[in-house]
Structure 1
């Protein structure tokens, strides 16, 4: 009988990891919450990205919330019960969510050491960091090495995305009002990105087709500068557009491209029609 993995990796649902990928890597995924009035749902458990798109399309105002420390603590305790001696907890940017703070709070109450990593990013840029960290853990490395690997992959990443409207990001406080007004006033398709953990307006483009082309070009340029790029395409309610972007990136880069819906929480902020590409350096790291 094999020994249990000494270091377990925990992440959150905004990593957009397909269920099979998280399960195969041995990663515990703690869900964030989507809220509407007095109702609250755990994303990936009680509400899907399609349901978020439907509710927004019907005019419902959605908000989101970080996981309670108790939910993170439960994940840490489950890791300990499975034989882990330490946890590396990798989460979306602390500038966008209080999840990192909740993880640190829960870590102080855990029965084993917990290293919390602020990835400074979101979506599969976070997912790639978590899966690479889990590979290091499976190879027997200690928590310091596993946490450093997560930070390394996250730091190499670029996430760029398009939205049909900046209103959702502005209302949720994830984009400054001047940036939102600039994009709306000029009647353009904004190209957005995650920089230093925050969402910034990168470029203004006049049409959806041109914006999609810029999205592909920017992601491909970043990937071409990497030794072994991991590439993922996310969407909210536009699977055909996501498949087209993924195919174009595959043909240009010659790598497999992960395609998945954006998480329900990220979708609540980006809105229907959102399209994103995440790229990270997976390199030739020897676990």
Structure 2
């Protein structure tokens, strides 16, 4: 029996994935989610995927359909069931990517981590990076997979709610970082969702997720360390927020690559905070 594949780090290259495509326990997940701030791509741009990729549907399957706000994390029982439906096992090795490069794939990476699963990495550069190397792609094909034996153990410390964020506002040991654009952070750009106020959480800092990205994927570890040292010189814990908890995970991935720990995601993010009128805001 061949040795099971292990992820070397939270970020893997297209070459690493291509080299290990035949590993018996490898699962490739396409976690593409449309960008809420970008208009839909032309219909004639046919969807392609990495060979044998399985679609990890963040919006319609892996979000709480009863949740008041978009992309709310599933319970551990529901997450476990849906992951098993994708044929994923306890000993699987997962590489997750998205069509944008690095956008929604870190949310899936973080979700698995929050459920106690560690053998998962994000494909640096996503599908564009894979294609730029000349590697093969295919048309998506709906499949039914053999039921997996994946087990989820919720690590609640990896997500925080609005009450925890409210307590953190004046806690010097905690730093709130907002991954939205500077325009949305300062209230000069309209929020894309109706009924959501403009502005930001008091005492939070603007850290647009695009700042940790290059044209090829994530910036180098050295570049990221400089960025994080500049924005977080003293705090022991970083809480990441964004619009709906998606790009906050891009910042978490970049922080992880930089060597940080003690990070959490505000799951409701600005869509929740900006919708609740008695929560304080700044502009």
Scaled to the shorter chain, the TM-score interval is 0.3 to 0.5
Give the structure with the higher percent helix: 1
- TM-score, normalized by length of structure 1? 0.32
Give the structure with the higher percent strand: 1
- TM-score, normalized by length of structure 2? 0.33
